[in-house]
Amino acid sequence: MAFLVDAQDAADGTHASAPHPLAPLTAAEIEAAASAVKAAKGLGETARFVYVSLYEPSKHEVVAFEAGGDAPKRLVKVVIREREEHATYEGIVSLPDGAIADYKRVAGVQPSVMFEEFMAAEDIVRKDPRWQEAMRKRGIANFDLCMIDPWSTPNVEPGVGPDDGRFVSPLTWVRDDPDDNGYAHPVDGVVTKVDLDTLTVVSVEDYGVVPVPKKKANYSTAKISDPENVPHFPEGPRQDVKPLDIAQHEGPGFHVDGYHLTWQKWDLRIGFTAREGLVLHRISYDKRSIVHRVSLSEMFVPYGDPGPTHYRKLVLDEGEYGIGLLTNSLELGCDCLGEIAYLDGVVNDNDGKAVTLPNAICLHEEDHGIAWKHTDFRTGYVEVRRMRRMVISSIVTVGNYEYAYYWYLYQDGTIEYEVKLTGVISNGAVKPGQQPEHGVVVAPGVYGPHHQHFFNVRLDMAVDGTSNRVYEVTPTADPAGPENPVGNAWRAKEVLIADETMARREADPLAGRFWKITNDNVKNELGQPVGYKLMPQHVIRPFAHPGSAVARRAPFMFSPLWVTAYDRDELFATGDYPNQAAGGAGLPAFAARERNLTDTDVVLWFTFGTNHVARPEDWPVMPVHPIGFKLLPSGFFVGNPSLDNPQPGGDHCHHD
């Protein structure tokens, strides 16, 4: 059973009529802001709206508002590509009056690739005689069956900097028929470049014919029994899967009012932006604040194959496309199971109109195994409790790949973030009998080039308030000697990350290093500063050579953790305009300010990822690969916060 939630965000408490300052923009607000800019600046058809997003009030304005103060001004940030002028503008519009608070040209940048450009690039390549000739050489006659994916154009070689033009570099796959999975048939060796301002094909490079793989790789139930399919299941779908129903006879345990979510002791606000997708704000437990804002700040997927079709595949999926725009509409019983509530995502199109993405965010509860247990083996007395978690999720499709994002809130105060990678691997073709050096063959003639996935999450913390500090904690052996006579001693060595000269932190997974965010002005009953710890998981090393153009593209990946001081305008690990950028914006620039990080408002930027060496089992659609990290209370509470979880139903679960 599902219930839909009214997208109108009701006010809370004392602010009866105003929306909460962090409520996502409504469709009307998006359109009002775009119209106001158009009118004030006399914009015509060539002015394209890249982003229309809430310009969030600063943390202190939100805190003041929640304490009963005035609502901060409702501000909207617009990013515009003026196609005719080959120029980028950004502005701030205040609502409801539509006054233009700021409007300026931003030199030397390329904003994200717009959805209309994504589609237009495909159309104009399809009509290009050079590309058509390359297809004919490969025996492809029906160009309508070609899928031309506009991969971004990284600034890793001359001629593609932000002032050189506005580019994408489409690659081609071809379907057998309109319902076929076209990614089974990569057209290797043909790379095109499109100028998005002029909508012209700049170049078509043909590195020679590699036969287009013929085997089908469909994943629909109707087609998996086809003997031509790789893999194929002659019996069709398995018959021994019995129904598994999640029943919550009294309805869900959470409550949602607009974008305000409460669940047991948790309280938070949900946001959604065109660039980041899902955002969580103001996460608190038992009315104590933990987090001001968390979001995925950037993704980087560098391919490790030097072949001509693949070496430019160095995508910053979020900064170059906007993953909010690519969010799926979720379906009951498919994407989430149980008692579900959905929230819509509202984004802009490139004309400045609003687009509602229905059911973009899924809210539901899950049983998550046991929370804790102890058996007193002498008396036979057993106590066990179940763990419940609140799940807030969304799924995006970036071309061939799917990323499913999950925030989990647990009854013991844990916050977890998980990304499930799935979809179709980006691939290439190999000649029969050839073994690629930088990839793995996954089907006859098809290989998956090695690649890495990096995810950077911005954690704007507020542990019992905004005066926080961060310690790096490294379990370390004591030296051998009279104080350590049998050599067993070790301690949890703490180093204060005092200021931004210490902003970049390395992981030490074998030591189990973690980072602790504390508020030294607030002590628990044991006299310890209250804190949360970031437990890193899935930390990987970049294979891009330091100093290389690839490395400059995403310097954040060279340190799994960065700590910076809070600034409302520092939201993205690669800066505001990573598309075609030369590098240096984002975290290196933020940290270069050398601000204080002690007893102040701190932001952690954590990067995790996976080195994807494809498996044949990843074909044709990849089993989900989950990776992520946790924030655990560490002295935030005294004792196990889930000790008060109720006993599970039925007498059989506990006995004495």
Secondary element (H or E) of residue 549: helix 549-553
Examine residue 620 and say whether the peptide bond preceding it is cis (omega within 30 degrees of 0): yes
| Residue 524: C-alpha distances to residues 204, 284, 410 (Å) | 65, 17, 21
- Six-digit token pair at 246? 């999640």
Candidate list 89, 311, 321, 401, residue with the active-site label: 401
Secondary element (H or E) of residue 101: strand 99-106
Q: Does position 83 bind Cu ion by CB under 5 A?
A: no
Respond yes or no: is residue 644 known to be catalytic: no
We find the least distance from the C-beta atom of residue 282 to Cu ion, in angstroms, to be: 33
Closer to Cu ion at the Cβ: 39 or 613?
A: 613
Closer to Cu ion at the Cβ: 458 or 612?
A: 612
* DSSP 8-class letter at 267: E
We find the least distance from the C-beta atom of residue 173 to Cu ion, in angstroms, to be: 17
Binding-site size, Cu ion (CB under 5 A)? 1
What whole-number distance in Å separates Cα of residue 351 and Cα of residue 327? Answer: 19
What whole-number distance in Å separates Cα of residue 243 and Cα of residue 423? Answer: 25
We find the least distance from the C-beta atom of residue 256 to Cu ion, in angstroms, to be: 33
We find the least distance from the C-beta atom of residue 615 to Cu ion, in angstroms, to be: 11
Closer to Cu ion at the Cβ: 75 or 301?
A: 301
No. of H helices and E strands in the chain?
A: 7, 33
Could you tell me which stretch among 115-123, 174-182, 268-276, 611-619 binds Cu ion (CB under 5 A)? 611-619
We find the least distance from the C-beta atom of residue 618 to Cu ion, in angstroms, to be: 8
What whole-number distance in Å separates Cα of residue 117 and Cα of residue 173? Answer: 19
Closer to Cu ion at the Cβ: 96 or 623?
A: 623
Candidate list 317, 344, 349, 601, residue with the active-site label: 317
Closer to Cu ion at the Cβ: 148 or 442?
A: 442
We find the least distance from the C-beta atom of residue 545 to Cu ion, in angstroms, to be: 21
Respond yes or no: is residue 317 known to be catalytic: yes
Q: Which residues contact 572 (CB under 8 A, 6 or more apart)?
A: 275, 297, 298, 318, 319, 458, 578, 586
Closer to Cu ion at the Cβ: 50 or 419?
A: 419
Could you tell me which stretch among 2-10, 150-158, 587-595, 608-616 binds Cu ion (CB under 5 A)? 608-616
Cβ atoms < 10 Å from Cβ of 52:
28
Closer to Cu ion at the Cβ: 389 or 453?
A: 453
What whole-number distance in Å separates Cα of residue 484 and Cα of residue 472? Answer: 24
Q: What is the DSSP string of 581-612?
A: --S--SHHHHHTT--B-SSB-EEEEEEEEEEE
Which residue is nearest to Cu ion, using beta carbons? 612
We find the least distance from the C-beta atom of residue 586 to Cu ion, in angstroms, to be: 23
Which residues within the stretch 517-546 sit at the binding site for Cu ion (CB under 5 A)? Answer: none
We find the least distance from the C-beta atom of residue 402 to Cu ion, in angstroms, to be: 11
We find the least distance from the C-beta atom of residue 622 to Cu ion, in angstroms, to be: 7
We find the least distance from the C-beta atom of residue 451 to Cu ion, in angstroms, to be: 6
Closer to Cu ion at the Cβ: 371 or 554?
A: 554
The alpha carbon of residue 585 and the mean position of all alpha carbons in its chain are separated, in whole angstroms, by 19
**How, if at all, do strands 340-348 and 2-4 pair?**
parallel
Cβ atoms < 10 Å from Cβ of 336:
23
Examine residue 237 and say whether the peptide bond preceding it is cis (omega within 30 degrees of 0): no
Radius of gyration of the chain (CA): 26
Q: Does position 612 bind Cu ion by CB under 5 A?
A: yes
Closer to Cu ion at the Cβ: 312 or 612?
A: 612
What whole-number distance in Å separates Cα of residue 74 and Cα of residue 71? Answer: 8
Secondary element (H or E) of residue 61: helix 59-66
- Quickly tell me which residue has 């031509």 as its tokens: 228
We find the least distance from the C-beta atom of residue 210 to Cu ion, in angstroms, to be: 21
Could you tell me which stretch among 33-41, 62-70, 285-293, 606-614 binds Cu ion (CB under 5 A)? 606-614
Helices (H), 234-363: 317-321
We find the least distance from the C-beta atom of residue 154 to Cu ion, in angstroms, to be: 17
| Residue 283: C-alpha distances to residues 170, 189, 462 (Å) | 41, 49, 9
Closer to Cu ion at the Cβ: 195 or 320?
A: 320
Closer to Cu ion at the Cβ: 166 or 612?
A: 612
Closer to Cu ion at the Cβ: 513 or 612?
A: 612
Binding mask 565-604 for Cu ion (x = CB under 5 A): ----------------------------------------
Q: Is the Cβ–Cβ distance between 350 and 194 less than 8 Å?
A: no
What whole-number distance in Å separates Cα of residue 356 and Cα of residue 455? Answer: 26
Could you tell me which stretch among 78-86, 89-97, 605-613, 637-645 binds Cu ion (CB under 5 A)? 605-613
Q: Is the Cβ–Cβ distance between 634 and 627 less than 8 Å?
A: no
Provide, for the chain, the percentages of residues in helix, strand and coil under a 3-state DSSP scheme, each rounded to the nearest 5: 10, 40, 45
Which residues within the stretch 327-386 sit at the binding site for Cu ion (CB under 5 A)? Answer: none
Using H for helix, E for strand and C for coil, what is the string for 509-534? CCCCCEEEEEEEEEECCCCCEEEEEE
**Could you tell me where the beta strands, DSSP code E, fall in 340-380?**
340-348, 354-376
Binding mask 413-452 for Cu ion (x = CB under 5 A): ----------------------------------------
What whole-number distance in Å separates Cα of residue 404 and Cα of residue 399? Answer: 14
Could you tell me which stretch among 103-111, 153-161, 266-274, 610-618 binds Cu ion (CB under 5 A)? 610-618
Terminus-to-terminus CA distance in the chain, angstroms? 38
Nearest to residue 409, comparing CAs of 284, 585, 504, 306? 284
Could you tell me which stretch among 86-94, 223-231, 579-587, 609-617 binds Cu ion (CB under 5 A)? 609-617
Q: Is 656 exposed, middle or buried (CB count within 10 Å of its CB: 0-12, 13-18, 19+)?
A: exposed
Residues tagged active-site = 317, 401
Q: What residue ranges bind Cu ion (CB under 5 A)?
A: 612
